[in-house]
Structure 1
Amino acid sequence: MVQLPNYLDYSGGSIQRQINPYADNGGSVVAIAGDDFVVIGADTRLSSGFSIFTREQNKLFPLSSTTILGCAGCWCDTLTLTRILKSRMQMYQQEHNKTMSTVACAQMLSTILYYKRFFPYYISNILVGLDNEGKGCVYSYDPIGHCEKATYRAGGSAGALLQPLLDNQIGQKNILNPSTEPLTQEKALATLKDVFISAAERDIYTGDSVSIKIITKNGIKEDTFDLRRD
């Protein structure tokens, strides 16, 4: 008997072919804001399925001296989106002779995402910075550009695991004796490290190490710490 190739159908029926234009390269992003600072961290593992492409991929993109964008998801979409944002920032700088504020940058990102609503970027975006009053702010987005301002947010492959922890530790929700003390930079940094350690235990797409950036009125400071590598 002659074996026919599986892509040929001589019965007269139609054959359906599906192409997925997206790829999920994993990764998680966490941001926590205080009265005069904001901390954002992202893991450095870039993977697909059970294959790790690199363990040292930075997913935090500085847009200005007070604004940083964290991205997790499809890496090719991330590169495209960040290049568009940086070019728009340069155009604004040259036209108005000043740097775009964090609030304006957040609105611009929302507009760009909405423009691509029929073929959206497959990215979890979290934009952080200092607002016009010098307070830390965190903006999170859905794929078509809906923007929500908050003081803490988790996104990416482990976002559903990390957000309840942030609700409890930072938002003081579902707790018997909530603290009334203001959030300090040290506590925010320690909490960010703790939630990433927890995520690395449960999510195979989050691991290796975490890149951290701390934004204050004095500029941006960088930090890093290692996670499990298996």
Structure 2
Amino acid sequence: LAGLATDVQTVAQRLKFRLNLYELKEGRQIKPQTFMSMVSNLLYERRFGPYYTEPVIAGLDPITHEPFICSLDLIGCPMITDDFVVSGTCSEQMYGMCESLWEPDMEPDHLFETISQAMLNAVDRDAISGMGVVVHIIEKDKITTRTLKARMD
């Protein structure tokens, strides 16, 4: 979740509640597409006084292991894509870098390097974005999380 800190915390708490309720009712893990609908509905409910967040949803279908990635705007309108999405204050800087570096069917190490280059480039140009990046690489059998430090000036 990117956005205003208080809205990010509120949305995260409400989504955690709805996700737990879904998993208790259904007795299974939620699919990324279903989770996207849940997030979209939550944001659309507040369309006249929106939460200032721009969620990115990425995951693998629990059964087919098909990748899914999308982003949503302030009122819950999804943008589903097959390649990449960007979100947050430095999204303009990231978009061009991602377009030039991204290739289909990248290996996890190459994908991590591409993500790292795009994120660090954007963070270096946008002081509001913070001083580091957490990168999650989602594979069929594991999730790799790495933290990158950016300059701190």
Q: Same fold (TM over 0.5)?
A: yes
TM-superposed deviation, 1:200: 2.5
CA contact 1:207–1:228 (8 Å) conserved in 2: no
Which residue of 114, 117, 124 corresponds with 2:54? 124
CA offset digits 1:97-153 (Å, max 9, x no partner):
112111110111111111111111101211110135312221111111110111201
Q: How many equivalent residue pairs?
A: 151
Following the alignment from structure 1 to structure 2, what is the Cα–Cα distance between the partners of residues 81 and 197? 26
CA contact (8 A) 2:124 2:150 kept: no
1:221 deviates by: 2.1
Amino acid at match of 1:160: E
Counterpart residue type for residue 99 of structure 2: D
Larger relative strand fraction: 1
Residue 80 (1) aligns with residue 22 (2): no
The RMSD of aligned alpha carbons is 1.5
In the alignment, which residue of structure 2 is the partner of 1:99? 29
Q: Which runs of 5+ in 1 are unaligned?
A: 1-70, 172-180
- TM normalised by structure 1 equals 0.62
**Aligned structure 1 segments of 4 or more residues deviating by more than 3 angstroms:** none
1:203, distance to aligned residue in structure 2 (A): 0.6
What's the secondary structure of 2:87's corresponding residue? Answer: strand
Q: What pairs with 1:1-230 in structure 2 (closer than 5 Å)?
A: 71-131=1-61, 133-150=64-81, 151-170=83-102, 182-230=105-153
SS at match of 1:134: coil
**Structure 1 counterpart SS, 2:86:** strand
Greater share of residues in helix: 2
Identical pairs, percent: 25
Asked if structure 2 preserves the Cα contact closer than 8 Å seen for 1:89 and 1:99, the reply is no
Q: Which ranges of structure 2 fall in alignment gaps of 5 or more residues?
A: none
Specify which structure has the bigger relative contact order, considering alpha-carbon pairs within 8 angstroms and separated by 6 or more residues: 1
